[in-house]
Structure formats: structure tokens, C-alpha cells
Amino acid sequence: MQIKKAMMSGLIAAMVITPAFNPVFAQGADTADTATTTTTTETVKNGLQADGTYYENGVQKKGLVTIDGHNYYFDETTGVMVKSAWVGDSYFNLKGIRLEDGDHSVKGKDHYFFVNGVKVVNTWEGNAYYGDQGVRYENGVKTIKGETYYFKDGAKAVNTWYKDQFYGPEGTIVKSAYAAKGDINVYLDEDGHLATGMFAVNNAYAYFTKGVKSTATKWFTYNKKNYYLVSGNAATSFRKIGKYYYNFASNGVLKTGFATIKGKRYYFKTTGKAGVKGRALTGLFKVKGAYYYGSKNGVLVTNKTLKLNGKKYTFNKTGKCTKVAAIRKLTGMDAKAQKYTSPTKYLILVNKSSHTVAIYKGSQDNWKKVRSFLCTVGKPSTPTTSGVFHIGQTKGKYVKARYFDSYPSRCWYPTRIHDGYMFHSVLYKIASKPGALNNGTLGANLSHGCIRLAINNAKYIHDVIPAGTTTVIY
């Protein structure tokens, strides 16, 4: 067929179709002696149609289409132009035009769009912030990536007070720093609020009330702790206040109890009101049942014997009185025990020469013997190690057990001292309970390094002595 185009007004063009010559009509009288001519008109669509669809040269367009410099979106199924709606992260307005390159209002909320029409999310644009839905934060306090901001009229506020917090030049809350408020400087705490309490500022501890630093010089109690303020700053270190000496920590807290300061021992009172509590005690006084003596400046008398009130008091290197008048003098293991400390209320001494184990109860300089018994220690080729140990100090190994076997013998009630060295019974024949002995020798150097005991003494250590107890072997 031949197709002739005819121009029509608007966006629609007419098509005129004329049939070509058909040889059927030239075969004689039996056929039609003339050909019939038929004219049919079709339309080719171009441009935007009344139903919201769009064509180019008769082809319907769908998806994103650029028309006269604007971007439109036609539904992928129906081909109808999208208006006042989101398509992915792009928005098409009432006229169907995609919003691009800048801040635009969508249904009363501000969004920011890139040049390609994609909305900005979780991003700053100048002093404005667009959240995870792309909506601009307008007013109020918001936390972004761990920092808190105050927004007003769509922008972060800078150098601005809001409630009792100050938002600095970057818009974030100023913390642990001074800020100007009116004609005074106030201090803000670690959360950015007006500080109330004790705070470390400019290498000194000071007391603040609603951000304002105290200027007082006085005793002061805060959070059940005592301070001495000097023009609002907390006193630190050792110092004399009035007639008495006191000791303060680096954070200004009053310290009590024993202390060694520049090589000298003191005791600071642990009870009483502010100003009484914390004084360095002088004269003869008792702490936990032991006597001490403080000189006029509070320094404890050490390594010296004094005559006081008709009695002799002997003070050791810590200032503790170890003898009053005719205090019984300790000798041997009992005297040796007094110098040791233990993390438990028990102490064990082992004298390898005398094959003696002594158990003490109490504390340093006040150990009292509760048991003493004979033992067998290591032979010369496998000696028992000397030193200061703590029961069960070897990690990864059991501390106590009911028994262990060292063929052909069974050792009952083992308690580990360290590594492979233990207290345990003398050697029994292997059986379900103690019975016949293989070797019951005590008072000798015979073992492989462990300390053998009569079974009742091994059981006593096993049952009574806690892990961690100091054990001195010499």
C-alpha cells in the first residue's frame, strides 16, 4: 500500500491509505470490470495526551522522560504521568516535574534534592540537617552521630543558650568548659549542664553551684566526703589548718587512717565532724587494739621505746607498739611469723631443719599459733623449695583434692602450695579409704619435694586453710 501523510492541527497527524493495483480486477467479463477505491484515516500520537500518557511518533513513553528541560515520570505499567508522589527517592510535584538541586517543600516538610533529583538523607547542607527520611530538622534538640544539636527554624543554632546548655560555634553542646552567660562566666559539666558539685578545672578541684564557682574558705562536705575549700578551690596534699595537720588526696578528698608522707608515718582520725575527722593524732592512742604515739606535729614514733605513764612502750618501724612493759618475748618460729602478712586470717610456716609445720591465726605482728606438728620434707635429690608462697597460687591446677596416686601409694588430702609441691598425708596403700601404710615416716628428708603429714594434720590443712594463705618455707 502507499501511505501519504497529511498534517493535522495539534499533536495528531492523519494517515491516508490508497490500495495498489490488483490484477484480479483485469481478468475479463467474469470479474468486476472496475476497481473499487477505499480511503481509511489513522492517527499517530505525539506529546502529552488528555489521559496523562505521553507519546513520541506514536510510541508511548514510560519511566523517566525529559520534556522541555524538565524531568517527568510516567508509570511503568499504565504510562500515566506521576504527580504529587514519590518514586523511589525522587519527588514529582503537582505538575509532574521532578524536584531537583536544592531545598523544596513536600507536603509541608522541607527536603533537599541533588541535581539528579535524589533526596538527601542523613546529611548536612550548610547549617541544615536532613534526617534518615530526608526531612529537614526544624526545631528542637536532636542527636546526630553522638553529638547533640539545637535546631531553630530549620538550622542548627550556634553560640546559643537553650535551657541550661550552651551550643558553641559548631552547634554542639559545650562540655567541661567555661562559657559566657550574660556578664559572667559559668562552668558546664561533662554533660553540658550548669555544673553543681566538685569539678577539676584548670588543674584544681573547685566547687560550683549552677555553674558559678564558690569563693569560700571553709570545711565543706559533698557526697559524704570532706573537703577544705580555699577561695573555692579544694585543698590538696599534706597541710596545716589551724592547730592541726591534715592530709588531702589530689582530688581534694580528706584522707584518713595511716599514711606515709615524705618518709614519715601519720595516723589521721577516721571519725568525727568536719575539722575533727582527718586530724593527725598526737600523744598515745589505740588503733584496732594496738598502741601508737604521735609527736606534736603528728609524726608517729617508730623504732623506739618510750616511757609513758610509768610503762615502757616499744614501737616498730610502722609505729605500732609491739611491747608494753613485760610483754612476753616471742622466739623461734613464733617470732619469725610476726613479720609476715597473709591475705587470709591464717599463716603457715614450715621449718625444714626441724621438720616442723606451724599454723598461725591472726594478722601481721599478732599471729598466734593454733597448731604445730611434725612433717617429712624433700630428700636432697628432690628438695622442698624454700620461699614465700600462697596456697593454690599456680593457675590451671587444682588446689585441693581428696587424694592422688603416686604408684604404688595413695596420698590423702593434698593441698597445693605451688606448682607440684603439696601438703599431703604420708604414703598409704591404694584403697578406697585410708588403711595400710606404705611409708609413714615423719621427721625426715625423704619425699620428692612435697611435705608429708600425719593424715589428721593433712586433713586439717585440707579442710580449714583457705586458698591464698601465705606459706613460708625455710
* Residue 18: closest CA among 35, 36, 34, 38: 38
- Which residues, including other chains, have CB under 8 Å from residue 119's CB and lie 6 or more apart? 89, 90, 91, 111, 112, 113, 130, 134
Active-site residue among 321, 411, 450, 462?
A: 450
Q: Return left, alpha or beta for 197; rule: phi > 0 is left, psi -120 to 50 is alpha, else beta.
A: left
* Residue 165: closest CA among 175, 155, 156: 175
Q: How far is CA 290 from the centre of its chain?
A: 42
- Which residues, including other chains, have CB under 8 Å from residue 193's CB and lie 6 or more apart? 164, 165
Q: How far is CA 235 from the centre of its chain?
A: 31
Q: Is 375 helix (H, G, I), strand (E, B) or coil?
A: coil
Calpha distance 97→36 (Å, rounded): 52
Q: Is 411 a catalytic residue?
A: no
The residue type found at 29 is A
Phi, psi of 319, rounded to the nearest 5 degrees: 95, -5
Active-site residue among 111, 355, 424, 462?
A: 424
- Which residues, including other chains, have CB under 8 Å from residue 466's CB and lie 6 or more apart? 344, 346, 391
The H or E element that residue 334 is part of is helix 332-337
Calpha distance 297→292 (Å, rounded): 14
Q: How far is CA 463 from the centre of its chain?
A: 40
- Which residues, including other chains, have CB under 8 Å from residue 10's CB and lie 6 or more apart? none
- Cell numbers at 201, concatenated: 578545672
The residue type found at 333 is M
Burial 280-291 (b: 16+ CB within 10 A, else e): bbbebeeeeebb
Q: Is 104 a catalytic residue?
A: no
DSSP string, 400-427: B-SEEEETTEEEES-EEEETTEEEEE-E
Please say whether the dihedral angle defined by the alpha carbons of residues 271, 275, 280 and 286, taken in this order, is positive or negative.
negative
- The residues annotated with a catalytic role in the active site are 424, 450
